[in-house]
Structure 1
C-alpha cells in the first residue's frame, strides 16, 4: 500500500520518465563497472527494477519510453556501423568476407537445428539461427589497449562484422515478411530487388551527399551533426517503407557515413551523444520488457533451450574460427582470439531479438534465452579476449620496422610540401607557435627555438584575433593591440635564443581553424602550443575545444605543452610507448629530436600486463631498439619494461623522477555504444611534471 500511495503521488508526466532515465544512465554503469561487470548489464538490471515487475516507476508501453527506446535501438545499430574501420576492412576484404561467411553460416545452421529440435517452425528457427550468427565487437577496446589491432586475425574479425550484421538483419527482414503471410517467389524476389536498390541508395547516396555537404559547410559542425542524424533516421524510415526493420537502415547509414565523418570531431560528438543518452535508454527499455517471473520460469522450464542456444554459440563460433585457421594458416592463439572476439552477442542480436518478439516470430522464452546469451557472452567474451590477445605478437610479422614510417616526420612533411609547390623558398623546418598568454610565451618560444635551431629552421609566432561582424569593434582593436605586443616579445625572444622569428597576426572566425590554416600557409613542420585547463571535461567532449580541433584539422603534427620549467632544463624525458603504430613512431621521433636539441636523455617505458610472457617483453624491447636505430637523432636512450596491472598508475609513479613526460594524443572510443575510459585523460589530470601531448595530423 505504501508503494502504491507513493506511486500515485508521482505525476504522470513524460518529464519524470526522462529524468529517471537520465539519472539511471549517469549512475548505474559506473557502479557496475567497478564490480567488473559491463555497464550495459547494469542498465538492464535497472530497467527490471524500475519496470512493471519492480518499482513500477517506468511503463514500457508509455509513448515516451517507447520513443526513446526506439531512438536508442536505431542509434545503437548506427554506431555499430560507424565504428567499423573500413580502411582496415578493405586491406583484407576477401579474408574478412571468408571468415564473415563462415562465422555466420555455422552458427546459423546450429541455431536452425536448435530451433527445430525444440519444436519451433522453420521461420522461427531460421530467425534464431540469424540471432546467434552476428556478433558485437565488445572486446575491441581490449585489443586496442594491448596494441595488437594490426594483427591480421584481428583485422579480419573486425571486417567480418560487416558481413554478419548485414546478413543477420536481412534474414530478419525476410523472416518478418514470411511470418506476415506475404511470402511467395514473386514477393521474395520483389523484396530482395527493393532491398538491393535501397542498400545501394543508402550506401552510395548518403556517402556522396554527405561528402558534398561536409565540403560545402566546412567547419559548421552543428549542421554536419544534424545532417548525420537526418541521414540515420531517413534510412530507418526508408527501411520501414520497404517492410524491413528500421535497424537495418540504421546500420547501413552507419556504414554510409563512415567515410564521411572519418576521424573528424563530428564523429566524436555523434558517438558521445549516443553513448551518453540514447543507447543507455535502449538497454533500460530492454530491462523494462523483461518479466522477472517469466524469466525465472524460462530458466526452469526452458533450461535446455537456453543451454542449447548458449552452448551452440560457443561451439559454432569456435568451429568457424577453426575453419579460418585451416584456410588462412593462423596460429592457435590467433584462432582463439578470433573466437573470443566474435562471441559477444549484444547490438544486432538484441535489436533483432526485440524486433522478432514484437513481430510475434519468437516467444518470450526465446527472448529471455537471448538475454541470458547476451549476459554470458558479454562477460565471458572480453575475459577470453584479454587472455588470448595478450599472447599475440605486439608487432605484426609483415610490419617491418625499417619502413618509410620510420623516416622522421619532419622530413616527410618537407617532401610533401616541396612536392606540392617547389617554387616556394621556405626554410626546411618551420615551427608555428600560437601565442596568447604572456605567462607561457617564453617557454613556448624557447621550445620552438630549440627545435628550429637544431634543424636550421625558423619559428613562426602567431596570434589569432576573433573576427567580429564590424571590423571597427573596440574589442577587436584591443585584441589586435595585445597581439602586436605578444608578437614583438616573440621576436625579442627569438633574438635571445638565436633563431629567426617571423610574426603573423591573423583575423579569423574560428581560432582553431585560424591556427590550422596559418600553419598550412606557412608550410609548418610542427605546431607548438600551450595547454588549456578546458582541454578535458564534459563540455569539451560535447562541444569540442581549441586543442582538440587543432589536432583534427592540422596538416602537420601538433605538440601541446604544459611546461613548468625552461625547456633547456628538462633533462630527463619519459616516453610511455605501448605499440609500434605509425602514430607511436612519430612520438618516438619527436622525443629523439627534442632530446638532441639540448643533449638530454630519454627513457622509453613499456607497461606490460603481469601475465605477459617474458619472451614477449624481450621481443618488444628488441623491436624498440631496432626502431630507435632505424632513424632520427641518436640520443642517450634507455628502455624500461615494467609489469603492472594499471597502466596509468605505473606511468604516474615512474614520472616522479622525470622532468618531462611526452604522451601520444589518444581518442576516447565506444564499444557496443558505451564509453570506454581513457588512460591519457587520467595522466593529464594527475601528472605533476612538465608534459607534452603529441598528436599526429588526421588529414
Structure 2
C-alpha cells in the first residue's frame, strides 16, 4: 500500500522518486536566485532531507544504487565530451597535472597523518589518498559553460583518471598489506588485470561501435541502449580487473568519443537523461552523507575535519598553479582547474569506508571525511562557475553580431535515410558558441507544379515533419518551408535570400550529368546563382563513423576570399567526430587564376590552413593533378570522408580539373564526400531575386 510509506522517513518507492524529482526541479531554481550553481542546491537539499537532517528520506538501497549509477554516468559523459583530439595531443599535460594533483596531496597528507594524528605509515598513506584523488563534481558547470574543449580543462579531466587510479591502487596495496596478502601473486594479478582491461576496452569498443552505428538503422533508442551497455559493461569489467568502476566508465567514454558527434541527436539524449536524472541522483546521494553534527562529537573529529579541508584546499591549489605555471595557463584557467579538481566524493568515500572496515581508521576520520565532502561540494562548483566565466571572457570568444549569424539551409528531395545524413552534416558544422544556439536550421523542399501538386505538397510537408522530429533529438530547432516553383534552383535561391542564409548544404547522388555540368542542372544553377558557402554532399555512411578527413586543396585556393570560413567548417566536422585531417595540397604552378606573385605577408596554404580555428591534428602532403586520383583511391574506406575545397569558375583557386573531379571521386568510393565551395563575399541580394 502506498499509504504505508508516507510516514517519516518515507519508504514508498513512488513517493521517494517523486520527492527526488521535486528536489531536482526546485533546488537549482532557488540557488539560481542567489547566483550559485544548481548542483550545490541538490547537495544541500540532500543534507537537509536526508537521515542526518530532517530524516525525511533514508539513504537506502534505492538512493545508493541510483547514486552509483549517476556517478558512473557522470564519468562516462566526461569521457564523451572531452575534446579527444586535444586530449591526445596534450596527454602529457593530463599526466603532469594528474601526477602533481596526486603526489602533492599524498606527501602532505601522509606527513600530516603521522605527525598531527599519530598514524602509522600505512594508515597515513591511506589517509592522504582520501583527498589525493578527486571527483568531477563541478563537471556539469564546465559542460554548461562550454569549456570542455579548453586545454586546461581537458588536462584536468584527463588528470582525474591518473589521480583516481593511483589513489585506488594505494588503497588496494595498503589493504593487502594489512590483511597479509601482499605477495607476488597479488602484484601479478593486479598488473595483468589492469593492463588487460585497458587494452581490451581500447581495442574492442571503437570497432564494435563503428560496426553497430553503421549497421543498426532502426529506432534511436537502440543506439542509446548500446551506449549504456558499453558504459556500464566497461565499469563492471574494471571492477573485475581490480580497479574502481569509475575508471571503466571514463575509459568507455573516451573509447566512444570519436563515434558520437558532440552535436548530434544521440549526444543530446545522453546529456539530457544524465543532467535531468542520473547525475542529480548522485548529487542527492552525496548530500545525504553529510552530517554537520559530527563536529560536536569531540575535538578529534574537529581536528581531522580541519586537517582534511585545509590540506585538500592547499594541495589542489598548489597542483593547479604548478601545472598552470609550467604550461602557461592564465590565472582564471588555473583557478578553474583548482575548482574542478577540488571535488571529492566517490574515491574518497571508497577509501575511507574500506580503511574503516579493516581497522586503519576510526570514526573521527570517517566523520571528518564527510565534513570535507560537504565543504568542497559547495566550494568546487562555485569556484568553477566564478572563474570559468572569466575564462570565457579572456580566451577571446567572438561576440555574436547579426551580420555573422550563421543560417544553414538544407534543400532536399532525398529519401529520409539520406536526408538524415545531410542533417547530420549540418549539425556538425552548426555553430554552438554562446549566443548562436538560437539560430535554427532551415529545411526546404521545392515542389514543381503538376496536376498532383496538392498531394505533392502534402507529402513534402510530411517528410519535413520527420526531419523536424529527427532534429529535435539533437535539440536543434528547424524552420520548414515548402515552395512551388517551376525552377527548383530558383526556389532554393529565393529561400537563400529571404532567410539570409549563410551556408547551403545540398545533397548529390553522384550520378553523371550531361555536357559540361559538374553536378547537374539544379545544383550547378545554385552554385552560379549564390555567392554563399555551399557544401555539395553525398552522405551514405554515418558521419559519426569517420576516422579521417582527407581535404583536397587546389593550387591558389588559399587566396579565395571565403577560404578561412570553408576550412573552419571542415575542421568543425572533424572536431565533432574526433577525426584527424590529412590535407592534400595540389601543386601546379601553371594554374591560371593564381596570383602571379604573392606578397611576403601572404601565407602558404599550409600556414593559412593551420591559422584557422579550431585546432585539429593535421598532416600535410603534396601531389599533382595526375597523381591526385591515385592518392584519393587509397582513402575510400567507409570510415573515410573526402572533402574537396573547390572554387567557382574563374574564382581564385579554380582549375579545369575541378569540373570533373566530383564525378571521379563518386566513381572511386561508395563512402562520404563533400565538395565545399567557399563564399565569394557580399553582393546585392536583389540580383538573386531577378533570376527566373
TM-score, scaled relative to structure 1 = 0.54
Structure 2 counterparts to residues 264-275 of structure 1, below 5 A: 264-275=264-275
1:110 corresponds to which of 104, 108, 111: 108
Contact 2:102-2:163 within 8 A present in 1 as well? yes
SS in structure 2 of the partner of residue 462 of structure 1 = strand
- Relative to structure 1, is the Cα distance of residues 138 and 266 closer, same or farther in structure 2, using a 3 angstrom cutoff? same
2:240 is aligned to: 241
Q: Distance in 2 between matches of 1:146 and 1:165?
A: 25
Contact 1:41-1:375 within 8 A present in 2 as well? no
Does 2:306 align with 1:307?
yes
Question: Residue 54 of structure 1: CA displacement?
Answer: 4.3
1:72 corresponds to which of 51, 70, 73: 70
SS in structure 1 of the partner of residue 411 of structure 2 = strand
SS in structure 2 of the partner of residue 270 of structure 1 = helix
Q: Distance in 2 between matches of 1:282 and 1:6?
A: 23
* CA offsets 1:383-430 (integer angstroms, 9 cap, x no match): 555665666696769x99xxxxxx9999xxxxxxxxxxxxxxxxxx99
* CA offsets 1:270-325 (integer angstroms, 9 cap, x no match): 22222222222233233334445435426x53222222222222222333244335
Question: Residue 197 of structure 1: CA displacement?
Answer: 0.7
Structure 2 counterparts to residues 296-695 of structure 1, below 5 A: 296-297=296-297, 300-325=299-324, 327-328=326-327, 335-336=334-335, 338-346=337-345, 348-349=347-348, 362-384=361-383, 432=411, 461-462=444-445, 479-480=458-459, 489-491=483-485, 518=507
* CA offsets 1:144-187 (integer angstroms, 9 cap, x no match): 88888776545444443343343334444444544554322321
Q: Distance in 2 between matches of 1:362 and 1:270?
A: 39
1:506 is aligned to: none
Q: Distance in 1 between matches of 2:24 and 2:331?
A: 39
Q: Distance in 1 between matches of 2:482 and 2:278?
A: 51
Residue segments in structure 1 that go unaligned for 5+ positions in a row: 401-406, 411-428, 436-458, 465-474, 503-514, 527-550, 556-580, 587-626, 632-699
Contact 1:112-1:125 within 8 A present in 2 as well? yes
* CA offsets 1:56-105 (integer angstroms, 9 cap, x no match): 44333x44333323323332333343333322212222233222222221
Instruction: Name which of structure 1's ranges 216-225 and 483-492 shifts more when overlaid on structure 2.
Output: 483-492
Q: Provide the aligned length of Structure 1 versus Structure 2.
A: 466
1:660 is aligned to: none
- Relative to structure 1, is the Cα distance of residues 552 and 462 closer, same or farther in structure 2, using a 3 angstrom cutoff? farther
- Relative to structure 1, is the Cα distance of residues 180 and 49 closer, same or farther in structure 2, using a 3 angstrom cutoff? farther
1:287 is aligned to: 287
- Relative to structure 1, is the Cα distance of residues 25 and 324 closer, same or farther in structure 2, using a 3 angstrom cutoff? closer
- Relative to structure 1, is the Cα distance of residues 152 and 29 closer, same or farther in structure 2, using a 3 angstrom cutoff? closer
1:278 is aligned to: 278
Instruction: Name which of structure 1's ranges 127-136 and 169-178 shifts more when overlaid on structure 2.
Output: 169-178
Contact 1:245-1:355 within 8 A present in 2 as well? no
Instruction: Name which of structure 1's ranges 227-236 and 8-17 shifts more when overlaid on structure 2.
Output: 8-17
2:88 is aligned to: 90
1:99 is aligned to: 97
RMSD of equivalent CA atoms: 5.2
Q: Distance in 2 between matches of 1:53 and 1:487?
A: 58
Question: Residue 362 of structure 1: CA displacement?
Answer: 4.6
Question: Residue 225 of structure 1: CA displacement?
Answer: 0.9
* CA offsets 1:221-247 (integer angstroms, 9 cap, x no match): 211111121122222332333444433
2:43 is aligned to: 44
1:184 is aligned to: 183
- Relative to structure 1, is the Cα distance of residues 312 and 143 closer, same or farther in structure 2, using a 3 angstrom cutoff? same
Contact 2:74-2:274 within 8 A present in 1 as well? yes
- Relative to structure 1, is the Cα distance of residues 53 and 198 closer, same or farther in structure 2, using a 3 angstrom cutoff? same
Contact 1:494-1:500 within 8 A present in 2 as well? no
Contact 1:48-1:292 within 8 A present in 2 as well? no
- Relative to structure 1, is the Cα distance of residues 211 and 357 closer, same or farther in structure 2, using a 3 angstrom cutoff? farther
Contact 1:73-1:351 within 8 A present in 2 as well? no
Q: Distance in 2 between matches of 1:21 and 1:327?
A: 44
Q: Distance in 2 between matches of 1:296 and 1:519?
A: 73
2:31 is aligned to: 32
Contact 2:82-2:154 within 8 A present in 1 as well? no
SS in structure 2 of the partner of residue 183 of structure 1 = coil
